[in-house]
Amino acid sequence: DAKTTQPPSMDCAEGRAANLPCNHSTISGNEYVYWYRQIHSQGPQYIIHGLKNNETNEMASLIITEDRKSSTLILPHATLRDTAVYYCIALSFQGGSEKLVFGKGTKLTVNP
């Protein structure tokens, strides 16, 4: 699985958009980009995933560059409850065990 690189921490004002970047320059054609977040000492929460196209759901939007070497997770209107560690993961599905390889993620702090 491709290695991903994220900034260790970011701050965002409540009500503003939070844009979390992720570099995955060695991603291969069949690897998906997954985003999870983990609020203090809870289990990771699935947010969104994508392969090539931009994706949007009720939680967030995922923008993947055309060359697929980087992506951005967008939380359109951040709230205090969005304070968490956000993990970007490149994951391939090859019929074997599909393990998630977590890095250290980005600690997002949403300020009032």
Partner 1 sequence: ETGVTQSPTHLIKTRGQQVTLRCSSQSGHNTVSWYQQALGQGPQFIFQYYREEENGRGNFPPRFSGLQFPNYSSELNVNALELDDSALYLCASSLGLGRSQETQYFGPGTRLLVL
Residues making contact with partner 1 (CB under 8 A) = 32, 34, 36, 41-46, 49, 51, 87, 93, 95-105
Q: What 8-state DSSP symbol labels residue 30?
A: T
Greatest extent of the chain over all pairs of C-alpha atoms, in Å: 45
**Min separation Cβ 103 and partner 1, Å:** 6
Q: How many CB atoms lie within 10 A of CB 112?
A: 7
Indicate the residue among 17 and 51 with the shorter CB distance to partner 1. Answer: 51
CB atoms within 10 A of CB 94: 8
Q: Which is nearer to partner 1, 4 or 70 (CB)?
A: 4
Nearer to partner 1, 24 or 87 (CB): 87
